[in-house]
Amino acid sequence: MSHRTRYLTHAALIAALYVALTMLVHLFGLDSGAIQLRLSEALTVLPFFSAAAVPGLTVGCLLANLTVGGAPWDVAFGTLATLLGALGTRALRHRSPYLAALPPIAANTVIIPWVIRLVYGDMTPIAWLFLTVGLGELISAGLCGTVLLLALRRTKGIRWN
């Protein structure tokens, strides 16, 4: 398999998995609002292994947000937060794996509360939104993502690019 084909395949699989996990959590109403617990955010550590994860996560987030009915500005800024987090994780790939989840946590904690406030008109105090969105990201990307990253580091048959 050529490098380009592998890259596109990895990106597409990551995008599809992001959408599927978001839809699963959406069934339980945990993917939006002030407290968000998106299991798909655990995948945001994948740029630690592969550059293909950056477009995969970005496209996956875009499609997931469109699929679950996000407002246009939510789709745009939610996708931007995912892109920035993925780029940050990719930049940290030569550092400790325990740092991989920090960029997605930071990007979503800073951007998403403003989306909730400005796009959806939620008048919850912005500090509370920072706390609740940050907590959801800490669980999804920080805890679940780090567990995923450490498990994937132990696998020997996966060829990352």
Go through the domains of the chain in sequence order and give each one's CATH number: 3-154 (1.10.1760)
**Longest Cα pair distance anywhere in the chain, in angstroms?**
52
Half-sphere exposure of 70 (CA within 13 A, CB side): 25
DSSP 122-148: --S-HHHHHHHHHHHHIIIIIIIHHHH
Q: How far apart are CA 148 and CA 114, in angstroms?
A: 29
pTM of the model: 0.90
Q: How far apart are CA 15 and CA 155, in angstroms?
A: 21
- Per-residue pLDDT in tens (0 to 9) along the chain, 161 residues: 788 999 999 999 999 999 999 999 888 877 666 567 888 999 999 999 999 999 999 999 999 999 988 899 999 999 999 999 999 999 999 999 999 999 999 999 999 999 999 999 989 999 999 999 999 999 999 999 999 999 998 876 566 65
